[in-house]
Structure 1
Amino acid sequence: MSDTPPSLDPVQLGAYFDLIEVTSLLRHAVEQQLREAGELSYVQFQLLARLGDSPSGSHRMTDLADGVVYSRSGLTYQAGLLEKAGLVVRAPSPDDERGITVTITDAGRERLAAVLPGHVEVVSGLLFEPLSRDDVESLAALLAPVRDHMRSTPPRSAAPRRRSTAD
């Protein structure tokens, strides 16, 4: 048995750093566009987009937290800001009295429609413009199994909460 710690070879290390840099640059540009076009944070946009894509316009808070990979408390705060702005409403879940359901409002759909064209423009211009259609298909094929592997572990929001050991 070897005591050598695990390491990444130069190709793996380069791919990792490239992925992190691309993600950071893209996220920065997207966040700037969302702030300018709709006074939304990236997480708020994700919430509105998920709600807007839902046939009912609603989701449970826990499901939203898992989908956007955000803490329950952080999501509660963001949903509160969206509710204060009139973009969503929160209500007790009809099938779980302890759960909360979030529903997009007409104003939320209007805000989403206002930011979406610019969002698509930023993503298309930065991420997809330098790639051929075959490259995009290859990228999607490469990322899907990595995402699925990472998602196979329950998200943090689904993990049981720690109980205090103090009496």
Structure 2
Amino acid sequence: MAEPRWLNEEEMRAWEAFLAATALVNRRIEQQLKDEAHLSHTQYEVLVRLARAPGKELRMTELSAALFTSKSGLTYQIDQLAKAGFVRRGPAPDDPRGVLAALTPAGLRKLESAAPGHVALVRDLLIDVLTPAQRTALADGLGEVAKRLC
């Protein structure tokens, strides 16, 4: 068995910074959305994805893949959004086994009211903290990680 390739000091610094930043940013975003919009971060992202989709609807499988979440976790979030009147679920017209999630007018209004505070916090916590070169490196580097994991 090959000896593990331990992280050197710079690699460990990068790993620990990634862990700290993602945990702290996610915690603050989750709290802001809960306090100001009464949404979870996942629920907010569902509304965003549906708002961007053609016809403001997506198959649940597409939505799950776009959000990098399990189908059961997404089903729970969709159920909560449906109870609030922000999303409706129904059968896919071209496939009786498929399920569509669609953004309702109330869901679009909810997104429009939640987005300004969310975007302001994302800017404050991440975007405006970094230089353009750092943002490019972050997007390129983490994009490559995501590509390898998909």
Q: Normalization by structure 2: what TM-score?
A: 0.93
1:24 aligns with 2:23: yes
Range with bigger deviation, 45-54 or 3-12? 3-12
**Which structure has the higher relative contact order (CA within 8 Å, separation 6+)?**
1
For 1:36 and 1:67, the matched residues in 2 are separated by 25
Count of aligned pairs: 150
Equivalent residue for 2:92? 93
Q: Normalization by structure 1: what TM-score?
A: 0.84
Say which SS state the counterpart of residue 129 (structure 1) adopts: helix
Q: After superposition, where does 1:142-153 map in structure 2 within 5 Å?
A: 142-151=141-150
Deviation at 1:99, TM superposition (A): 1.3
Give a deviation string over 1:63-103, Cα, whole Å, max 9, x none: 11111111111111110110000000000111221111000
1:106 aligns with 2:121: no
2:21 aligned partner, one-letter code: V
Deviation at 1:56, TM superposition (A): 1.0
Structure 1: 5+ residue stretches without partners: 152-167
1:127 aligned partner, one-letter code: L
Equivalent residue for 2:136? 137
Equivalent residue for 2:41? 42
Deviation at 1:15, TM superposition (A): 0.8
**Distance change in 2, residues 1:3/1:139 (3 Å):** closer
Identity, % of aligned positions: 37
Equivalent residue for 1:9? 8
Deviation at 1:3, TM superposition (A): 4.0
Say which SS state the counterpart of residue 7 (structure 2) adopts: coil
Give a deviation string over 1:102-129, Cα, whole Å, max 9, x none: 0000000011011100111111011022
Q: Which structure would you say has the larger Rg? A: 1
Say which SS state the counterpart of residue 56 (structure 1) adopts: helix
More helix by share: 2
For 2:70 and 2:137, the matched residues in 1 are separated by 31
